[in-house]
């Protein structure tokens, strides 16, 4: 079930690692996808294991749209941003490659068992470790260099400072890859690393168009620019639209929405319940609201 | 703080209730005066290390637990996920029945325990909330914590409110209603319910007896499934909507009452 690529058959981008290149890659799933992988049409998406609802949404959307445009989405299958990126790519029916810090057939983290199976089915899972190798802490920073090498652009969605995602970004810089970061709110730990990357000169990734421009050159991806695969929801009333906007910009609870929009908590609660019924927002067990991929009918 | 101020907005004990509460207080050696003369509802906040017997009653000879001492009042469980699972499980049946049966080899006693359950919990072990971007909990710990929150008693809770970090500037220029004003509204709503339900609160009547307009029935039927609302959840939402309408002084349940009730519903059912 597992296969092995070595020597000449290793994907070309790994050659840029020089002496740090892995001896071999062990894999599961689509072997040809990995063997013929070019960094010119692959994007690596990495980020925090403690993402915010905002980070998860952005990671999923980026991956969905990049995969829809034919780009291979590379990530590390960690809980959080990585998993959201793989899921986004799979939902688009696109191609995705997971690079693990254990044997390719070892499911780590274990709660991502279903995702592991889906990636093995529709994409590929690779590791420099023999099948059956258990996860060990030092192997995760090691695999970061492989993730950094495979993508032509490395997008960091959310990262603390310091963090493993920043290590991947630095690996990518040394390999001459383009590093882009998704800007986040100032003062939130999950965005401290990404905002610093931007301050230090990384590219800014606001959406998939920004990433496609970095990968293919500005405007080269024009036909895809108009492509918005997100489903459209019903038309919104003025207060509903304002509440949805507030949730989208990270005001996650009814009280925060009420304060931001100067409406009563009751009005905010009713609007949130309506938006939930229409499918625009979801609420987690702690009562925090987040936007779903559903888009407004008249947005561009 | 919100949980503790809860008692101050509840209606006073009626004559019969005061008598019941006084008998219980006297049996456990608690002061009788506040309930008998002050008509103040009991408020019990046991620590999370409490045993099953301490919570629901037990021992030889059997002694009433906190659930019974809180009869006609409030039982407040702070840090709900920290409580012993068995103790919480033992609370389920009494919560539904309003009575607890303690059976021992030589004793068999049934004690009343019709209390309002109020519980508090952090959104995750570190308290910042897993989707805040500032959470420092390992993802596995968050998953374990959520599992504990959604198990146990959460399907018996009618209202779930996310208590957010108060924004100080917002608090400064907003004058919240004081407890006395809220209490007056509660008493008025209670009277409205009792007049309509033949002396009973909305919580004690079958949800089928609560009238919903055809539009609202359709809304629940159409969207209830999408929201993962079970039969029990549906009944609870209807009772809560009726109560919100009573607080508003409204004759009929309106759409905004139903929507607010849906908003307050616990989200574990999906």
Q: Where are the domains of chain B?
A: 4-121, 179-269
The pLDDT, as a whole number, for residue B180 is 86
Can you read off the two tokens belonging to residue B152?
Answer: 């146990």
Residue B267 pLDDT grade (very low, low, confident, very high; cuts 50, 70, 90):
low
pLDDT over 80 at B167, yes or no: no
Q: What pLDDT band is residue B166 in, cutting at 50, 70 and 90?
A: low
Mean pLDDT over residues B152-163, rounded?
76
Q: Is the confidence at residue A34, as pLDDT, over 60?
A: yes
A56/B131 touch (CB, cutoff 8 Å), yes or no: yes
Q: Where are the alpha helices (DSSP H) in chain A?
A: 31-35, 53-68, 81-91, 113-122, 139-150, 164-174, 189-199, 208-216, 222-225, 238-248, 254-261, 265-278
Task: Kindly list the residues from chain A whose CB atom is less than 8 angstroms away from the CB atom of residue B135.
Answer: 50
Nearest to A79 among B139, B161, B267 (CB): B139
Say how far apart CA B253 and CA A199 lie, in whole Å: 54
Residue B47 has pLDDT above 70, yes or no: yes
DSSP at B166: P
Q: Which residue has the tokens 């093995």?
A: A120
Count of residues making up chain A? 300
Res A188 pLDDT > 60: yes
Q: Once rounded to an integer, what is the mean pLDDT over residues A93-118?
A: 94
A80 vs B139: CB contact, 8 Å cut-off?
A: yes
Among the ranges given (A133-137, B169-173, B215-219), the one the predictor scored with the smallest mean pLDDT: B169-173
Smallest Cβ–Cβ distance between A285 and the set B146, B226, B256 belongs to B146
For A147-166, the pLDDT digits (tens) are 999 999 999 999 999 999 99
Nearest CA among A85, A74, A77, A67 for reference residue A116: A77
* Res. A227 pLDDT band, cuts 50 70 90: very low
Interface test with B, best of A80, A115, A159, A273 (most B CBs within 10 A): A273
Superfamily of domain B4-121 in the CATH hierarchy: P-loop containing nucleotide triphosphate hydrolases (3.40.50.300)
**Which carries the bigger pLDDT value, residue B204 or residue B56?**
B56
pLDDT of residue B169: 53
Query: What is the structure's pLDDT at B270?
Result: 36
Provide the shortest C-alpha distance from residue B20 to chain A (in Å). 37
% pLDDT > 90, chain A: 66
What confidence tier does A300 reach under pLDDT thresholds 50, 70, 90? very low
Give chain A's contact residues with B (Cβ, < 8 Å): 49-56, 79-80, 109, 111, 158, 184-185, 188-191, 252-256, 259, 266, 269-270, 272-274, 276-277, 279, 283-288, 290
Q: Does B168 touch chain A (CB under 8 A)?
A: no
The per-residue pLDDT for range A228-267, each reduced to its tens digit, is 556 678 889 899 999 998 887 766 778 888 888 888 888 8
Structural domains of chain A, ranges and CATH numbers in brackets: 3-225 (3.40.50.450), 238-291 (1.10.10.10)
Residue B226 has pLDDT above 70, yes or no: no
Determine the pLDDT at residue B247: 93
Average pLDDT over residues A273-297: 81
pLDDT band per the 50, 70, 90 thresholds, residue B165? low
Looking at every residue in chain A, the average pLDDT score rounds to: 89
- Closest-CA distance, B240 to chain A, in angstroms, reads 14
Element (H, E) at B136: none
> Is pLDDT at A80 greater than 80 in this prediction?
yes
Check A273 against B262: CB less than 8 A apart.
yes
The shortest CB-CB distance from A55 to any of B133, B139, B162 is to B133
CA-based diameter of chain A, in Å? 66
Neighbours of A246 (CB within 10 A): 22
Map residue A228 onto helix, strand or coil: coil
pLDDT above 60 (res A58): yes
- B161, B166, B259 ranked by CB distance to A270: nearest: B259
């Amino acid at each position: 079930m597992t296969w092995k690529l070595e020597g000449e058959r290793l994907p070309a981008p790994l050659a840029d690692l020089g002496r740090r290149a892995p001896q071999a890659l062990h894999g599961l799933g689509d072997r040809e996808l990995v063997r013929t992988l070019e960094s010119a049409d692959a994007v690596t998406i990495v980020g925090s294991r403690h993402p915010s609802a905002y980070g998860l949404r952005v990671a999923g959307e980026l991956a969905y749209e990049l995969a829809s445009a034919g780009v291979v989405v590379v990530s590390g299958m960690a809980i959080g941003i990585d998993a959201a990126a793989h899921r986004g790519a799979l939902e688009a029916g696109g191609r995705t490659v997971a690079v693990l810090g254990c044997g390719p057939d070892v499911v780590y983290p274990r709660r991502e068992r279903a995702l592991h199976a889906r990636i093995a089915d529709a994409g590929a899972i690779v590791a420099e470790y023999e099948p059956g190798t258990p996860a060990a802490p030092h192997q995760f920073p090691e695999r970061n260099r492989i993730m950094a090498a495979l993508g032509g652009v490395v997008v960091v969605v959310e990262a603390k400072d310091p963090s493993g995602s920043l290590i991947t970004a630095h690996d990518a810089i040394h390999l001459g890859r383009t590093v882009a970061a998704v800007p986040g709110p100032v003062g939130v730990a999950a965005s401290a690393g990404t905002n610093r990357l931007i301050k230090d000169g990384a590219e800014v990734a606001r959406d998939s168009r920004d990433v496609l421009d970095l990968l293919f050159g500005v405007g080269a991806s024009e036909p895809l620019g108009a492509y918005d695969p997100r489903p459209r929801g019903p038309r919104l009333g003025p207060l509903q639209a304002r509440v949805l906007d507030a949730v989208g910009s990270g005001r996650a609870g009814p009280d925060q929405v009420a304060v931001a929009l100067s409406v009563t908590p009751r009005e905010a609660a009713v609007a949130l319940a309506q938006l939930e019924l229409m499918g625009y927002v979801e609420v987690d067990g702690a009562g925090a609201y987040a936007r779903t991929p559903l888009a407004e009918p008249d947005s561009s | 703080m919100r949980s503790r101020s809860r008692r101050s907005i509840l209606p006073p004990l009626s004559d019969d209730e005061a008598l019941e509460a006084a008998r219980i207080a006297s049996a456990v050696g608690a002061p009788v005066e506040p309930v008998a003369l002050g008509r103040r509802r009991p408020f019990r906040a046991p620590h999370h290390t409490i045993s099953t017997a301490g919570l629901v009653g037990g021992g030889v000879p059997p002694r009433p637990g906190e659930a019974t001492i809180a009869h006609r009042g409030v039982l407040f469980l702070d840090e709900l996920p920290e409580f012993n699972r068995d103790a919480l499980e033992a609370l389920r049946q009494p919560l539904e029945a309003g009575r607890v049966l303690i059976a021992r080899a030589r004793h068999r006693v049934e004690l009343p325990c019709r209390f309002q359950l109020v519980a508090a919990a952090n959104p995750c072990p570190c308290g910042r909330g897993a989707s805040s971007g500032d959470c420092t909990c390992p993802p596995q710990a968050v998953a374990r914590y959520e599992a504990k929150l959604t198990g146990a008693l959460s399907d018996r809770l009618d209202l779930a409110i996310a208590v957010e970090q108060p924004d100080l500037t917002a608090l400064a220029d907003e004058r919240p209603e004081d407890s006395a004003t809220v209490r007056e509204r509660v008493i008025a709503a209670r009277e409205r319910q009792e007049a309509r339900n033949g002396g009973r609160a909305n919580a004690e009547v079958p949800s089928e007896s609560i009238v919903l307009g055809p539009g609202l029935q359709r809304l629940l039927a159409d969207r209830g499934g999408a929201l993962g609302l079970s039969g029990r959840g549906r009944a609870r939402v209807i009772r809560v909507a009726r109560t919100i309408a009573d607080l508003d002084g409204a004759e009929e349940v309106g759409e905004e009452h139903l929507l607010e009730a849906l908003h307050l519903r616990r989200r574990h059912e999906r």
